[in-house]
Amino acid sequence: MTFDPRILESCAIATGVSAVSLMALLPLGRRLGLVDYPDQGRKRHAFDTPLVGGLAIAIGMLAGWWHADVFTPFEDAVIWTTLMLVVVGVADDLLDLRVWVRVVTELAAIAIVVISSGVYIRSLGMVHGHELTLGWLGIPFTVVAVIGLLNAFNLIDGIDGLAGCLALVAAGGIELLGRHTGSNLQFAAVAVIAAALVPYLAANLGLFGRVGKVFLGDAGSVMLGYLLAWSLIGMSQGQPRQLSPGLVLWCVALPVFDTLTVMFRRLHRGESPFTADRGHIHHLLMDAGLKPRDTLICLVAFAAIMPVLGHVIHQLAGALANAVAFVVLLAMYALFTACLGRRREMEQPSPRMASRVLAGPGMPARPPSRMRQRSGEGAQHDAPPRVQRSTDLPT
């Protein structure tokens, strides 16, 4: 592969346009009320923060893609449906849309890409010389995969920098593990995604101070998961194949691990898998004593190791051993997070458990008062009190 300087130029344009867009959108987001407000439950940030990071990234990516000229029927479909999801995501951040509106939009976006480009998951790769093809089942499998990954990024967006850094790791894994043969369009598109993320990460991690702080918002986290899902599908299913299907999940291992284990625990408790709680890996690590920045470093390092580990196993032991190793690591991850959750329950008992302890043996447990639930560990199970929106800067 020969280096194309246009890719570097496109990345520079994406970074610059994203930075300028971020500065322009900050005051606009406050004026429109596109702001995330802290509460007593899961949202424990210190002050009201604009939700414009995803919009700035989207504008930067569009500029970079335009310069790189990545437009093919597949890329066109992905870009237009991404914009559709961004618009709905912004509306959700502003108006708190019903779940069915978001789900229908996501299904429509996936259907548009599949119908207009013909790209979907047709093969799971080669095992002992035989290709595992899905036939017509590839279409529903693609729907589940794309919706799963975009929601995985949305769910793991819980501390500063995490979703953005995991997107960078995934993009880096694609660039490093992909086979740079033939057209470089998809590699250029992924590189532009990474470049457009840089200004957002600088602002989100506080490099510009409190005034410049932004969050991704649902528009941003869903957008990143959606784009990475289609990038992985397009490069692993196209001809020539630019990424082995056996390496796809390793590029996004941490969001996948976290989402699967969290949803399994919720279902095991008899709750909806979409119930909001503090059961994600970043919550568990911080409740175990790690600071947010240390938690970020640990999780990003873990995520960065996964593509390299998957590549080594795939090269040395083959596709079947690679798949088995992924499942084993998922089980180990689930066990580790279960131990962290059990430790948290022992150190910080829920109000119901505490009432049983206080009641003593043979005494009925006194149900915790509603006020105690809202101010204690059980607060996340209640709907947080609505906060009056304001366009004024926090004091």
What percent of the chain lies above the pLDDT cut of 70? 84
Which of 380, 385, 163, 384 lies closest to 276 in space, CA to CA?
380
Instruction: Write down the pLDDT at residue 381.
Output: 36
Summarize the annotated binding site as residue ranges.
154, 218
pLDDT confidence band for 183 (50 / 70 / 90)? low
Q: What is the mean pLDDT of the chain?
A: 84
User: What is the full DSSP assignment across 298-327?
Assistant: HHHHHHHHHHHHHHHHHHHH-HHHHHHHHH
Tokens of 350: 């829920």
Return the structure tokens found at 325. Answer: 């190793």
**CA-to-CA separations, 387 to 35, 308, 314, 376, in angstroms, rounded:** 11, 45, 51, 19
HSE value, Cβ hemisphere, 13 Å, CA-based, for 113: 30
> Pick the residue with more confidence: 126 or 50?
50
pLDDT at site 375: 31
pLDDT, one tens digit per residue, over 116-172 is: 999 999 988 877 778 888 989 999 999 999 999 999 999 998 899 999 999 999 999
Indicate whether 329 pLDDT > 80. Answer: yes
pLDDT computed for residue 383 by the predictor = 39
Query: Is the alpha carbon torsion for 22, 230, 322, 138 positive or negative?
Result: positive
H helices within the chain, ranges in order? 5-32, 53-68, 73-95, 99-117, 138-155, 162-177, 185-204, 217-237, 248-251, 253-268, 281-287, 292-317, 319-347, 351-359, 370-375
Annotated binding site for Mg(2+): 154, 218
Evaluate if residue 93 carries a pLDDT over 70: yes
CB 262 within 8 A of CB 151: no
Per domain, the residue ranges of the chain are 5-247
Residue position matching structure tokens 């194949």? 241
Give residue-wise pLDDT tens across range 272-299.
Answer: 887 778 889 999 999 988 999 999 999 9
Higher-confidence position of 392 and 7: 7
Reported as a single tens digit per residue, the pLDDT across 204-221 is 998 888 888 999 988 999
Phi and psi torsions of 48, nearest 5°: -60, 130
Return the minimum-mean-pLDDT range out of 68-77, 286-295, 376-385: 376-385
Among 35-39, 156-160, 166-170, 243-247, where is mean pLDDT lowest?
A: 35-39
**pLDDT beyond 50 at 265:** yes
Q: What is the DSSP letter of 70?
A: -
Q: What is the pLDDT of residue 373?
A: 35
